[in-house]
Amino acid sequence: MNELVCIGKVINFFGIKGELKILSDFEKQDLAFKCGNKIMIKEEWMTITSVRRHKNYVLIRVNNLNDINLITKYIGFNVYIKKADLNLSDDEYLLDDLIDAIVIDDCKNIGEIIDAYIGTGSSYVRVLYKNKEYLIPLVEAYIKSFDKEKKILYTNNAKDLII
């Protein structure tokens, strides 16, 4: 499984010691931004050698590059990681995995997921049902399980969200 997942974008450098300033809304940042992980920026594979947080950004150093002049070429490029390197457990999934999945609520098909995103602190899926769109929050009150193989999201009471 060499599928690449976008985990953020280099928006600038931070300081003069070679840290990259990354803007990321990736839902599994704790798994992606770890020392020793291999990432790809500008079609170059690198190893994360330090990670810290500053405000809403992730600051990383790669390949022990400690000079601002060596990292400015990466500004404006997306940061990718191999999905397999995230070491997701069998019951974990990424929001992107949900796209195009069928939603089943109490044995009834209530639509197909057309988008998944992180809203105001929570994750949501946008579902299309009979040409109507509605949101399902990805919380225990509505989500039973997700079958990654069959791409089926099993829900509880999600049909009540259809307006």
pLDDT of residue 159: 79
Q: To which CATH superfamily is domain 95-161 assigned?
A: PRC-barrel domain (2.30.30.240)
pLDDT digits (tens, 9 = 90+) for 5-43: 999 999 999 998 899 999 999 999 999 999 999 999 999
Average pLDDT on 57-71 reads 94
Q: Which residues contact 89 (CB under 8 A, 6 or more apart)?
A: none
Q: What's the rounded Cα separation, in Å, for the pair 8 and 57?
A: 10
- Beta strand 78-82 with 38-41: parallel, antiparallel or unpaired? antiparallel
Checking if the pLDDT of 163 tops 80, the result is no
Checking if the pLDDT of 1 tops 70, the result is no
pLDDT of residue 155: 92
pTM of model > 0.95: no
The answer for 161, left when phi > 0, alpha when psi is -120 to 50, beta otherwise, is alpha
Checking if the pLDDT of 117 tops 90, the result is no
Checking if the pLDDT of 129 tops 90, the result is no
Residue 44's pLDDT band (cuts 50, 70, 90) = very high
pLDDT digits (tens, 9 = 90+) for 81-115: 999 999 999 889 999 999 999 999 988 999 999 99
Q: Which CATH class is domain 4-86?
A: mainly beta
* Most confidently predicted of 30-39, 61-70, 86-95, 139-148: 30-39
Domain ranges of the chain: 4-86, 95-161
Sign of CA dihedral 107, 111, 115, 118: negative
